[in-house]
A and B are shown apart, each in its own frame.
Chain A
Amino acid sequence: MTALLLSLVIILGIVAIVQMLRVFDLSNSLKGEDEIQVNNQETNNIRWAFVVFFLGFFAFFIYLVVAFGDQLLPVSASEHGVEYDWLMNFNMIIITIVFVVTHIILMVFVVKYAKTVSPKATFVTHNNRLELIWTTTPAIVLTIIIIYGISTWNSMTMDKPKDSINIELYARQFDWTARYAGEDNTLGKANYRMISATNALGIINKNTIDERLNQYDEKLQELEESRAKVYPGGASDEDILEQIKLVKKNRAAVVQYKEQSKTENFDVANDDIITKVEFHIPVNKSVNFSIRSQDVIHSAFMPHFRAQMNAVPGVITSLYFTPIVTTKEMKEITGNPDFEYLLLCNKICGAAHYNMQMNIIVETEEEYNKWLAEQPRFNVAQAQ
């Protein structure tokens, strides 16, 4: 049905153009018009059309502000976000002024200096004083913007409080996992070769290392067995040998790691807490996020907190902020009883990129502690 409609529209469009052209050709030959000279009638039509256009453009701007202004992000829910919003408003005001003023000038010139009202142009090649003014004025304004911007940036990124709560955000196609550091506020180590069905984050402690080595052994045995029954159409012997090579390499790396880190305290990981779907943070406490990725680049985007950082495989990135508005309070501020803070993925990561999310619950410290106490610790969850 839509195909039919669309093709109909296209056909109609072509017919309309052909007809228009015939009419134009006729009228051209009648009036002796040509394709070069723009006659006075046309010039006047166009200059007023430009006025209508620019006024319409401003009206469209205002319409968008009125119609969708309330859909923009609510007040910042983080401490630095308040600064961010000031900086944003400051910049927005400047660029809106520049945008409106230059467009009004453009509109006026387009009307005033059309050839019908300004038959003769004035020969002006340059004006050093004017040019100096419009070089230095933007330069001064930009200096202010740069200084203000960089100082905000510095305070957002370089003054991390020492007593932040450490949380890891772990990204993979296509979900998020949060890991709390537990009572010691230190995250246990992790390695991608340790990842398995029972240890999705590849966290390292004594149990998981041995468990992973066993899994590798099982896998090797399985692969060796499947070599014996290679069948046409299935994986070839070469493919299987290739897989065996990879598994052996990974196993050797884990063994080597185990040897090297004999003195390491692996118990750090034991009190870690893993949550999915949603994670909680206490209000008015600085939170430091370590961000990791399992496979491709993702981006941890928390728009309500004016916070974003990429999750890059092979690198641990980080960001920190202090939430200042609880979820409950934000529900009142926005007047939306269903409001939730969100963690979105904001770097193209594959088919379900558009639905890779987690809810963030900001609550009082009491509520937070109560919730955290109910969550199973890593070693307990492992044992189950």
Chain B
Amino acid sequence: MAGHKETFITKYLFSYDHKMISRQFLLTGTVMAFIGMIMSLLFRLQLAFPGESFGVLNFFLGDKWAPGGVLDPNMYLALVTIHGTIMVFFLLTAGLSGTFANLLIPLQIGARDMASGMINMLSYWFFFLSSVVMIASLYVESGPAAAGWTVYPPLSALPQAMPGSGAGMTLWLVSMSFFIVSSLLGGLNYIVTVINLRTKGMKMTRLPLSIWALFVTAILGVLSFPVLFAAALLLIFDRTFGTSFYLSDIYIAGEALDHTGGSPLLFQHLFWFLGHPEVYIILLPALGITSEVISTNARKPIFGYRAMVGSILAIGFLSFIVWGHHMFITGMNPFVGAVFTFTTLLIAIPSAVKAFNYLSTLWKGSIRYTPAMMFAIAMVSTFITGGVTGIILADAALDVNLHDTYFVVAHFHIVMGLSAVMAMFAGVYHWFPKMWGRMLNKKLGYVHFWITFICAYGVFFPQHFQGLAGVPRRYYANTEFPIFDGLSDISLMVTIFAMIGGLAQLIFAFNLIYSMFKGPKAPQNPWSANTLEWTTPVEHIHGNWPGDLPVVHRWAYDFSKPSKDGTDYRIPGQDFVPQTVPLEEGEIDGEGH
């Protein structure tokens, strides 16, 4: 495209440029996140004040779904479902990978753009289309999909079972099909780019951990999303063409249906074959971003680079053989349950390595508390807090009484939701200068951080206790069970924290939009980092580097590297050595001398 005059349409809409596409992903993901968040606040109102009337519910949902301001149980389930779908897929898969893979892969490996700008553009527009269809599904007469974000059939297959399984579910499936296309197009592009377009000297062993994480993430996505596509397609067949892949022996609405021989469990196997790698599709980019931010702001190399790469690979591999832990109580053979318990608990080992390596990166560092760094530290905390409860849930025996309770809600919101969101915030605060050439307001960042971090734990930590008391998730109200009455204070507490935390995100939105236009101009390398993206000009140009591509001579983590005699830094007076600086004679890459 170089040399062509750009119009508004080619520059801002159908752009081939990875930096623009990255911004498009971030903004679309953020808008979706706000929609998902508002939904969660609406159903939290019902959970804290069951059956009470709220004008705001009526305002958002209308007379049909909130008559007199009281939330309808079907709409409650729909809100839960769409909240989950949006957060898992639209924010934390497309929003996170889409933003940072697009931004960082070409810039950090020294490429002029993605391998195929065209496919990259299509990836965004399929995502956009999928978002539009998902939002449109909120407006159908019978309501949006409401069978939970895992859309287990038969509930999701039969419109007789709930109103949400009518047109809303059809749109959900259409939207997810577009989403999968987007994800595959993006993922293939990321893989090809990382393998083929690394600049001279950028060996795989010199890749920043963010790229390693995004690379393995893309591989996971390419291997697992097609399986979800198959699952969705078969579900479409069952719903539309009368096939019986997932349906058997069903009597509903006064009618024995003509479906025999199918198995609802087949869907669960297919779904979780994507669903579990999906957790790491969300988490690995978060870990990658955290690695960069922590190392840069602790002014220290990431501790145990090779172990970090190894654990990313190990997590990636193991994520494919653990899906059965979502199905311990489906009637699966208990022996299989034992096998999945074993593989699942193995994941704790590479995860522990990562957590310890983050801690030891901080050790003897010289920490600069930028908002990005604070979010990265929060991520380490949530990764540990949420990770340890995974050890309990991985145990088939213990899962029996905790499955589908609030304990699970607490676990995955903390380890996957919060960790990824914290890392995403860290990434946005860290790379905003690269994305928009301006700085985010730091003080607003601090205010945003503290309210968000406190409320995040305030919302999800108490839910462990509800889970241990046996409160099931996806209950419209707990009032039908007197044994849960003593826990109603927790519901109230959680909702209050959620409201405050939700409001705090307005600070972030404001900061984002304000700084995009009015923020102070960013210098070329604001955080004194080593990676290649900070050698490009602040103003975005096609091809990223005005002259030749940079040549890489060292790994990305030479922070505070001492000079040979140990009296000063390697570059006198400067505590970092960019990757483009050649090795001195006798200097070993990635080592102390």
A interface with B by C-beta (< 8 Å): 1-4, 6, 9-10, 13-14, 17-18, 20-21, 24, 34-36, 38, 42-43, 46-47, 49-50, 53, 57, 60-61, 64, 67-68, 70-73, 84, 87-88, 91-92, 94-95, 98-99, 102-103, 105-106, 109-110, 113-115, 118-127, 130-131, 134-135, 138-139, 142, 145-146, 149-150, 152-154, 156-158, 172-173, 191-193, 195, 202, 246, 249-250, 294-297, 299, 301, 303-304, 306-310, 312-315, 317-318, 338-339, 342, 344-355, 357
Chain B residues engaging chain A, CB cutoff 8 angstroms:
54-56, 58-59, 69, 72-74, 77, 147-148, 152, 154-155, 158, 161-162, 247-252, 255-258, 260, 262-265, 298-301, 303-307, 329-331, 334, 337-338, 341-342, 345-346, 348-349, 352-353, 355-357, 359-360, 362-370, 374, 377, 380-381, 384-385, 388-389, 391-392, 395-398, 400-401, 403-405, 439-444, 446-447, 450, 453-454, 457-458, 461-462, 465, 468-470, 472, 474-478, 480-483, 486-487, 489-490, 503, 506-507, 510, 514, 519-520, 523, 526-527, 557, 559-562, 575, 590-592
Task: Answer whether A84 and B264 are a contact pair too, CB < 8 Å, given A14-B510, A36-B523, A348-B474.
Answer: no
Sample of 17 further A-B pairs with CB below 8 A, known A106-B380, A312-B331: A1-B55, A24-B444, A35-B526, A36-B442, A60-B461, A73-B469, A84-B398, A91-B398, A109-B362, A121-B365, A123-B561, A127-B303, A138-B352, A149-B396, A156-B397, A299-B329, A307-B400
- In the complex, what's the smallest C-beta–C-beta distance from A248 to chain B, in angstroms? 10
Known: A109-B359, A350-B161, A357-B481. A124 touches B303 (CB 8 A): yes
CA gap between A207 and B440 in the complex, in Å: 77
A113 with B365: in contact, given A64-B465, A157-B334 (CB under 8 Å)?
yes
Q: Among the listed A60, A92, A172, A354, which residue makes an inter-chain contact with B477, where contact means beta carbons less than 8 Å apart?
A: A354
Q: Are B359 and A99 in contact (CB under 8 A)?
A: no
The reply to whether B391 and A46 contact each other, CB–CB distance below 8 Å, is no
Docked CA distance A70–B465 (Å): 10
Closest to A99 in B: B388
| Closest CB in chain B relative to A278 CB, distance in Å | 15
CB–CB B370/A346 < 8 A: no
Contact of A306 (CB < 8 Å), options: B58, B334, B401? B401
Q: Is the pair A123, B345 in contact by a Cβ cutoff of 8 Å?
A: no
Q: Would you call A348 and B54 a contact (CB within 8 A)?
A: no
Q: Which residues of A have CB within 8 Å of B299?
A: 115, 121
Residue numbers in A under 8 Å from B73 (CB-CB): 351-354
Given A123-B301, A351-B77, A88 and B392 contact (CB-CB distance below 8 Å): yes
Contact of B366 among A120, A195, A342 (CB under 8 A): A120
Give the contacting residue for A354; candidates B162, B480, B523; CB below 8 A. B480
Name which residue of chain B comes closest to A3, CB basis. B55
Total A-B Cβ pairs within 8 A:
397
B380 touches A122 (CB 8 A): no
CB distance from B544 to the nearest CB of A (A): 22
Asked whether, in the complex, the Cβ of A314 is within 8 Å of the Cβ of B264, the reply is yes
Q: Is the CB of A249 within 8 A of B457?
A: no
Are B395 and A68 in contact, CB atoms less than 8 angstroms apart?
no
Of the candidates B161, B334, B392, the one whose C-beta lies within 8 Å of that of A153 is B334
Q: CA separation between A95 and B390, bound complex, in Å?
A: 10
Interface SS majority for chain A: helix
Task: Give min CB distance, A378 to chain B, whole Å.
Answer: 18
> Among B260, B388, B490, B514, which residue has its beta carbon within 8 angstroms of that of A21?
B514
Is B304 touching A131 in the complex (CB atoms < 8 A)?
yes
Which single member of B55, B329, B507, B562 contacts A308 (CB below 8 Å)?
B329
User: Which residues of the other chain, B, contact A21 by a CB distance below 8 angstroms?
Assistant: 441, 444, 510, 514
CB of B330 within 8 A of CB of A312, answer: yes
Chain B residues contacting A109 (CB-CB under 8 Å) are 359, 362-363, 365
Chain B residues near A299 (CB, 8 Å)? 329, 403-404
Pair B470/A355 contact, Cβ less than 8 Å: no
Instruction: Output the least CB separation between A94 and chain B (Å).
Output: 7
CB distance from A159 to the nearest CB of B (A): 10
Q: How far is the CB of A200 from chain B (nearest CB, A)?
A: 10
CB contact between B381 and one of A60, A106, A249, A342 (< 8 Å): that residue: A106
B484 to chain A, nearest CB (A): 8
**Cα-based distance from A136 to B253 in the complex (angstroms):** 57
Given A250-B258, A313-B250, A315-B331, A131 and B307 contact (CB-CB distance below 8 Å): yes
Mind listing 20 A-B residue pairs with CB under 8 Å? A3-B55, A14-B510, A21-B510, A34-B520, A53-B453, A68-B469, A84-B397, A99-B385, A127-B303, A135-B307, A142-B345, A153-B397, A299-B329, A304-B470, A315-B264, A317-B331, A339-B483, A350-B162, A353-B77, A353-B475
CB neighbours of B162 from chain A (8 A): 350-351
Question: B303, B305, B443, B469 — which one has the most chain A CB atoms within 10 A of its CB?
Answer: B443
Residues of A within 8 A of B147 (CB): 348
Q: Is there contact, CB below 8 Å, between A154 and B334? A: yes
User: Contacts A60-B457, A145-B395, A308-B401: A150 and B338 contacting too (C-beta < 8 A)?
Assistant: yes
- Cα A301 to Cα B483 in complex, Å, equals 14
B164 to nearest A CB, angstroms?
Answer: 9
Indicate which residue in A13, A57, A118, A309 contacts B364 across the interface (CB closer than 8 Å).
A118
Contact yes or no, A17 B300, CB < 8 A: no
A291 to B504, CA, bound (A): 47
Q: How far is the CB of B312 from chain A (nearest CB, A)?
A: 15
Distance from A211 Cβ to chain B, minimum over Cβ atoms (Å): 15
Partner of B307, one of A126, A193, A294: A126
For the complex, what is the distance from the CA of A228 to the CA of B390, rounded to whole Å? 62
How many Å lie between the Cα of A98 and that of B331 in the bound state? 33
Chain B residue, CB-CB nearest to A113? B365
The contact of B341 among A149, A297, A355, by CB within 8 Å, is A149
Closest partner residue, chain A, to B72 (CB atom) = A351
Chain A residue contacts of B444, Cβ below 8 A: 17, 20-21, 24
Partner of B252, one of A43, A113, A295: A295
Let me know if B395 and A354 touch, CB within 8 A: no
Going nearest first, the 6 A-B pairs with the smallest beta carbon separation are: A314-B248, A3-B55, A317-B331, A303-B470, A157-B334, A35-B439
Residue from A88, A150, A152 having most chain B Cβ neighbours under 10 A? A150
> In the complex where A3-B59, A131-B307, A131-B353 touch, is A94 in contact with B391 (Cβ < 8 A)?
yes
A91 touches B391 (CB 8 A): yes
Contact A36 B77 (CB under 8 A): no
User: Contact between A88 and B398 (Cβ–Cβ < 8 Å)?
Assistant: yes
- The answer to whether B506 touches A13 (Cβ under 8 A) is yes
Q: How far is the CB of A84 from chain B (nearest CB, A)?
A: 6
Cβ contact within 8 Å between B478 and A354: yes
In the complex, chain A residues whose CB is within 8 Å of the CB of B527: 36
Taking the closest CB of chain A, its distance from the CB of B385, in whole angstroms, is 6
Q: Is the CB of A297 within 8 A of B397?
A: no
Contacts of A191 in B (CB 8 A): 249
Q: A96 → chain B, closest Cβ, in Å?
A: 8
| CA gap between A102 and B247 in the complex, in Å | 47
Whether B349 pairs with A139 at a CB distance below 8 angstroms is: yes
Note all chain A residues with C-beta closer than 8 A to B468: 72-73
Cβ contact within 8 Å between A121 and B331: no
CB nearest neighbor in A for B562: A123
Of the residues B364, B454, B457, contact of A121 by C-beta under 8 Å? B364
Residues A43 and B331 in contact in the complex (CB < 8 Å), given A92-B392, A121-B575, A126-B307:
no
CB-CB under 8 A for A346 and B472, given A98-B384, A135-B349, A246-B255: yes
> In the bound complex, do residue B398 and residue A120 qualify as a contact, i.e. CB atoms below 8 Å apart?
no
Within 8 Å CB of A10, what residues of B?
503, 506
Known: A71-B486, A352-B73. A142 touches B248 (CB 8 A): no
**CB–CB B482/A295 < 8 A:** no
Q: Which residues does chain B contribute within 8 Å of A43, judged by CB atoms?
A: 367-369
Say which residue of A1, A157, A296 sits within 8 Å of B154 (CB atoms). Answer: A296
Q: Is the CB of A24 within 8 A of B331?
A: no
A17–B148 Cα distance when bound, in Å, is 36
Residues in A neighbouring B260, C-beta threshold 8 A: 314
For residue A173, which residues in chain B have a CB less than 8 angstroms away from its CB?
Answer: 161, 252
CB distance from A257 to the nearest CB of B (A): 12
Residue of B nearest to A69 (CB): B465
Query: Closest CB of chain A to B137's CB: distance in Å?
Result: 18
